[in-house]
Amino acid sequence: MNLKKLAENLLFALNIYIAFIALFNNSLYVPNWLLPVGRLHPVVLHFPIVLLILTLISVFFRLRNEQHRQIQYHISSYLLLLAALFSAITVITGLFLSREEGYEGNTLTRHMWTGIAIVFVASFIYRIRNWLWKKVRFYKIISICSIFLVAATGHYGATLTHGEGFLLPRKEKEKQVVAFEDALVFDHVILPVVRDKCASCHNPRKAKGSLVLQDSASFVKGGKTGKLFVPGQPEISLLLERIHLPDDDDKRMPPPGKPELTGQEMELLELWIRGGAGFSAKLAALAPGDSLRELAGTFLDTQEPFDFPAAKEETVQQLTNNDRLISKLSRESPALAVKMYNSVAYTKEKLEELLVLKTQVVSLDLNKLPVKDDDLKIIARFQNLRRLNLNFTDITGAGLMELNALKHLRNLYLSGAKVNYNGLKSLQAMPKLQQLAIWSNPLTEAELETLQKENPKITFITGYRDDGIPSKLIPPRLAENTVVFNDTLPLALEHPIYGVDIRYTTDGSDPDSILSPLMQKGAFISQNTTVKAKAYKDGWLSSDVSAFTFFKNEHKPDSMYFLAEPFENYRGDGVYTFFDGELGGMNIYRYTKNKWVGFRNGNLELMFLYNDPAVVQSVGLHTYISSGEQAFPPEHIEVWGGANERDMKLLASIKPLMPQEKDEREVKIINVGFKPEKVACLKVVAKPLMKQPPWSRGKGEPAMLMIDEILVN
């Protein structure tokens, strides 16, 4: 038997084999040792495609000379036989590959059957090639149809590998326009990120790992491996575990060749899960300063196509100060949001200073400032305002008619202001007003009902109404985000509801409504302190306890440097991280922008220099501890001090306690105390734990030492 005959018989046998395994594909068992054969599929598939296309196209370019045409016929026959054989091999490897995890859905089915069709069509064409060679017109029609079949198979294969729209791009959907006040954290921020970076592998057509990521229901369902996330616990959530695996790990998501998640996108997912992974929460409902609110806001596309130019960056910087925050509404938007603080320092003139930005300011927050009726004339000049917060200001409603000049205003907040029914009636000339907050105003139920009937297009936020069932207050919060100080720090807690009493303690006990001191101006903190606070108001249930820890850092060095470099993936902002007054929080993922500096195989070794010698008696390391993330306290800490770098002595050394198996993760200060010593040079050495305990995730391996602030007092 010659080689050609052997190849023809092999092709016939492969056709029978393919038909069998295709029909009984779901019932067949493929042993694990045979599965790797399937991974040859992307290696061999290009060869038959090229052979088929060359063979079929040659039909359209037949040679005129009869002798040459016979040679062309024989060559094309051999090429067609090879193409059919390699097509069969490609299909078989593809069928094996489809048995591995991650290949399922309608797209796989279409790819499989169009691929099988190519084998059968190529084999059929080869069998009747003598007849087709004489029927040129019919041969051309079959060739064209076969080429389209190859293109369709390639399209479905590319969709499986690279995502929908890879070969035949779809028309992109127009992005949904949504105002900040209406934006949902999941629908408008989280879901678009996941669809952009994950949906190519996790969609109804290609549900890799039986995981589909297209809506809230599919997020909750998860996939073959289990639940996608655990609300409130990102450190044990599968989604974050997979996206933070090393690049060479087979289970890392997205896989090599797919668009990577950025550091901000990873941090966004972590913050969303840590916050409870809610599906209905509004972005605007999150507390001002909330990390998720701040980061998610940068992912929102411009709410509307603003046609005004952006303000000069230097102008914005000049107008930003401790009493006034000016920020962009979204990443590439010319629109600005302004929030003013400090009721004592507020003046009409400071509001007028902002008029140089009257075109760009679309959100103005004057909450709890002594804004007067006359100031509304200035506010009315901010022609593009969409959102205006006048909650708990001193306006009376007499000047509200000035705001009718704001033709774009959609959201107006007047809660707690002494605005009456007649004053509110003057706002009916505002064509785009959609939302009006008026709780804690001198309005009767009848007046409120009349306003709602007369303005059906406006949503009235009326807040708490006494229906006999007391509501629970939310906990107090920090008025300022500063928690690290060098001398004393004013203790400033606040509550969004007017008239709430805030009582607090500093001795570790929970506050009560009688014995605990009342939050008032003039309270200061002068040392490391944990403050517990609780809110009280007549007619309401008291809030839960909120706790805030403040850290004193009295002696910031004039210069500092590393004696040993930190771990390459955790460098924070370098040595300046330790004295920037910003704590890193509960996020140490190496792909996110964070304030943590890490050490693993080498010691933390830092040198601090003081131009004027300082008297020090303690050094504290603000440390992240989580055995699940292989972050442990240092095994040993030493503090050295002296007049210069060559004349130093050991001031103190300690061995911190190690966490136990059931301990939860935490951030805490590890303090090293010693007798007061006057030093111009201070050295801190901390040795990472060299062997993690047997019960830990990385048992026997070196642990990470994570530091984000060093306190010298």
Reduce the secondary structure of 401-442 to three states and give it as a string.
HHHHHCCCCCEEECCCCCCCHHHHHHHHHCCCCCEEECCCCC
How many whole angstroms separate alpha carbon 306 and alpha carbon 360? 9
Q: Within 13 A of 404's CA, how many CA atoms are on the CB side?
A: 13
Residue ranges per structural domain of the chain: 3-162, 180-297, 313-461, 471-552, 559-712
CA distances from 375 to 166, 397, 424, 521 (A): 57, 12, 17, 27
Using DSSP, state whether 332 is helix, strand or coil: coil
In contact, 96 and 38? CB cutoff 8 Å: yes
- Listed residue (50, 23, 20) closest to 154, CA to CA: 50
In contact, 567 and 585? CB cutoff 8 Å: no
- CA dihedral defined by 569, 573, 578, 580, rounded to 10 degrees? -150
Q: What is the pLDDT of residue 30?
A: 64
Q: What is the pLDDT of residue 589?
A: 53
**CATH no. of 471-552:** 2.60.40.10
- In the numeric block, the tokens 């007619």 are attached to 539
Q: What is the pLDDT of residue 590?
A: 43
Q: What is the pLDDT of residue 177?
A: 60
Specify the pTM: 0.46
Class of domain 559-712: mainly beta
pLDDT tens digits for 294-345?
A: 677 767 654 567 889 989 988 988 898 878 888 887 666 788 989 888 888 8
The total number of residues shown for the chain amounts to: 713
Using DSSP, state whether 102 is helix, strand or coil: coil
pLDDT tens digits for 224-262?
A: 777 888 887 776 777 877 787 766 666 778 777 677 787
How many whole angstroms separate alpha carbon 551 and alpha carbon 489? 10
- Kindly give the parts of the chain with pLDDT less than 70: 1, 25-36, 38-39, 99-105, 160-181, 200, 203-209, 235, 246-250, 257, 287-290, 294, 298, 300-304, 330-332, 428, 463-471, 481, 585-594
* Angle between helix 66-97 and helix 3-23 axes, rounded to 10 deg: 40
- In the numeric block, the tokens 């029909």 are attached to 23
Q: What is the pLDDT of residue 174?
A: 45
Which fold would CATH assign to domain 313-461?
A: 3.80.10
In contact, 582 and 553? CB cutoff 8 Å: no
Residues in CB range of 565: below 8 A, 6 or more apart: 602
